[in-house]
């Protein structure tokens, strides 16, 4: 299995990957149910692709799916 290179994902990419709207993502961050973003600058944040992939895998496992 090849390892993906680390890369930052912006909110638009994250919403497309996880199927949640921006407001739902930030609500889940507030409750601790979603990975926190990394600050990139004064007004920019992004998520690591591996954090989002791990979160997706955890949702699949929680639902009883295989991976």
pLDDT in tens, 23-66: 999 999 999 999 999 999 999 999 999 999 999 999 999 988 76
| Domain 8-62 CATH class label | mainly alpha
47 DSSP 8-state letter: E
Q: What is the pLDDT of residues 14-34, one digit of tens each?
A: 999 999 999 999 999 999 999
**What ranges do the domains of the chain cover?**
8-62
21 touches 15 (CB < 8 A): yes
b/e per residue 46-58 (b: at least 16 CB within 10 A) = bbebebbeebeee
Model's pTM, two decimal places?
A: 0.87
- Cβ neighbours for 54, distance < 8 A, ≥ 6 positions apart: 35
């Amino acid at each position: 299995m090849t390892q993906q290179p680390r890369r930052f994902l912006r909110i638009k990419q994250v919403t497309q990957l996880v199927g949640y709207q921006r407001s739902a993502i930030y609500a889940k961050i507030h409750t601790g149910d979603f990975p926190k973003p990394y600050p990139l600058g004064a007004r920019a944040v992004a998520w690591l692709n591996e954090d989002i992939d791990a979160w997706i895998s955890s949702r699949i496992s929680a639902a009883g799916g295989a991976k």
